Structure 1
Amino acid sequence: MSNTLTDRSFWRNYWESKTGLAFPVNRNYLFHSLLSDIIKRFNPNSAIELGGFPGYYAIFLKKHFNITSTLLDYFVHHQILEDVLKVNNLTGDDIQVIEADLFNYTTPTQYDMVLSCGLIEHFYDTKDIISRHVQLLKPGGVLFITLPNFKGINGWFQKRFDKENYMKHNIDSMNPKLLDSIAKDLGLKEVRTAYYGGFSIWLENKEQMSALVKIFFKLVWMAGKTLTKIFRFESKQLSPYIVLEARKQTL
């Protein structure tokens, strides 16, 4: 059985169905505070974003911190990528792009930072996909992984209103304790896992939903945002993301 819950045709259809992909990646882009803190503490010179097409985080690191950035993905839509780079005042020379299957990819190159945002949950074997990140990490380098949390309200919306997309995710991987255990089993240190994001919900197919579903969605979104703005906290039920940060042992 294949380790992945998706394939190239899924990703081609997914990206070609999207609009508004070419936008400026600003300094306050999602996870900016966490990444800024990592950069302040560890001062990485090089980074690779895995499974990150269209490369928003590789662009973020290059554009705002001048970090030598690489994007590696199984599927790269080159016209979309060109448009995204252009609106960020970058060219193909600014970001190295590798279109390859991570499970068949070998290279002697290692990086100060290895990150992925929304990748590991598309694979059955969570430990194996995280180990692929670690292989690309320099000794002393920092690992940064985020994934959605579908075990709370956001997941209920996904399962109820977009079952097809929900089934493309390994729900068992969305467990901070599991991620902590895997990271430590792989020999990583300074491991930190946490829920993140306060509150948010989304549906990939929201525009195809009925007016009633859209109204319900909006009401829940507003209620959750108001609650967590007044009382900011992270939780399994409300937080939309899970974050893993760790460092590789030095030699």
Structure 2
Amino acid sequence: MSDKELTTKKYWEAYYKNSHVNKQHILTVCSYYSPIWEIFISNSEVSKSLIEIGGFPGRYLAYLANRYNIEPTCLDYNSDLTQIEGSFMEMDVQHYHIIKEDFIKFKPKLKYDYVMSNGFIEHFKNYDDILDLHVKYMSENGRLLVMIPNMKGYIQFYKYLVDYKNLKIHNLKCMKLKVFEDFAERHNLSILHLGYYGGFPLGIHQKINFLQKIIYKLHRLVFKYFANDKLKKYPSKYFSSAIVGVFEKQ
């Protein structure tokens, strides 16, 4: 593990130990981002290539490959290939590639029409350097999609109360639009989309005590049944769960 990483390989292998290979689960999780996919993927019928950085367990790749008839590549250092292969099988994707390498050390041999990473750069202290490495994978006129969780604003307060272990493995410094605006300027990339996305992130990644359960249930009541529908229409930097950027080489 590098001293610039906030997580370890061991952490991620344990995190995804339980199988995420289920077609309905893949469809439910991935279709939530349908408006973003429509911006990211062009409607060209020409065969295209797609790589996901930190792609384990492969559900987004499998979904996009099936939906847009794109040949996918998963780059991830996770040693368990069964979930990635299972995701492709569930979505009836026959042709795919898996690169089992450390993204920081790996030198790409190919360029791709579409490059994406989801929940990746925020686990590094040097997030700007990690972002910059993504550009090496982009072909001429290629597109890049970066999605990261938003844990600032009121979300940070909520996470501090009930999900602190998860909060502290994320670098909140990268969770602002200015980081991505500067990134686009550094590499002369057009910004096709940049903004906050989604409802309030209620998920908890640790065991919680009685008081924390009350806090969680109150938030669940307010956001799931009242506020989240409005947040999906009018995203907020204080309450929405993600930051999404789509970029294109000029």
Q: TM-score, normalised by structure 2?
A: 0.87
Q: 1:195, 1:142 → 2: CA distance?
A: 19
Q: What's the CA shift string for 1:142-170, capped at 9, x where partnerless?
A: 11000000103333232222322222111
What is the DSSP-based 3-state SS (H/G/I as helix, E as strand, rest coil) of the residue aligned with 2:191? strand
What is the DSSP-based 3-state SS (H/G/I as helix, E as strand, rest coil) of the residue aligned with 1:239? coil
Q: 1:6, 1:224 → 2: CA distance?
A: 29
- CA gap of 1:244–1:76, structure 2 versus 1, over 3 A, is farther
2:33 is the counterpart of 1:34 = no
- CA gap of 1:152–1:15, structure 2 versus 1, over 3 A, is same
Aligned residue for 1:209? 208
- CA gap of 1:230–1:243, structure 2 versus 1, over 3 A, is closer
What is the DSSP-based 3-state SS (H/G/I as helix, E as strand, rest coil) of the residue aligned with 1:5? coil
| Alignment check: 8 A CA contact 1:184 1:191 kept | no
| Alignment check: 8 A CA contact 1:140 1:248 kept | yes
2:125 is the counterpart of 1:119 = no
Q: 1:181, 1:191 → 2: CA distance?
A: 14
Q: 2:38, 2:196 → 1: CA distance?
A: 18
2:90 is the counterpart of 1:87 = yes
Q: More displaced, 49-58 or 5-14?
A: 5-14
2:134 is the counterpart of 1:133 = yes
Aligned residue for 2:168? 167
Q: 1:110, 1:209 → 2: CA distance?
A: 45
Give the CA RMSD over aligned residues: 2.2
1:42, distance to aligned residue in structure 2 (A): 6.3
1:74, distance to aligned residue in structure 2 (A): 2.0
1:99, distance to aligned residue in structure 2 (A): 0.8
What is the DSSP-based 3-state SS (H/G/I as helix, E as strand, rest coil) of the residue aligned with 2:16? helix
What is the DSSP-based 3-state SS (H/G/I as helix, E as strand, rest coil) of the residue aligned with 2:31? coil
Corresponding letter in the other structure for 1:222 = L
Corresponding letter in the other structure for 2:244 = V
Q: 1:2, 1:59 → 2: CA distance?
A: 32
Q: TM-score, normalised by structure 1?
A: 0.87
Q: 2:178, 2:149 → 1: CA distance?
A: 15
Aligned length: 243
Q: 2:230, 2:238 → 1: CA distance?
A: 17
Aligned residue for 2:218? 219
- Which sections of structure 1, spanning at least 5 residues, go unmatched? none
2:25 is the counterpart of 1:23 = no
- CA gap of 1:130–1:230, structure 2 versus 1, over 3 A, is closer
Aligned residue for 2:178? 177
1:76, distance to aligned residue in structure 2 (A): 3.8
Q: What's the CA shift string for 1:87-140, capped at 9, x where partnerless?
A: 3344xx532111101111112300011001100101111221111111100121
Q: 2:155, 2:176 → 1: CA distance?
A: 15
Q: More displaced, 214-223 or 233-242?
A: 214-223
| Alignment check: 8 A CA contact 1:157 1:203 kept | no
2:72 is the counterpart of 1:69 = yes
| Equivalences for residues 94-105 of structure 1 within 5 A | 94-105=95-106
What fraction of aligned residue pairs are identical, expressed as a percent?
Answer: 28
Q: 1:192, 1:42 → 2: CA distance?
A: 19
Q: More displaced, 226-235 or 102-111?
A: 226-235
Corresponding letter in the other structure for 2:36 = L
Q: 2:192, 2:129 → 1: CA distance?
A: 17
1:53, distance to aligned residue in structure 2 (A): 0.4
- CA gap of 1:107–1:20, structure 2 versus 1, over 3 A, is closer
| Alignment check: 8 A CA contact 2:59 2:84 kept | no
Q: 2:248, 2:85 → 1: CA distance?
A: 33
Q: 1:52, 1:30 → 2: CA distance?
A: 18
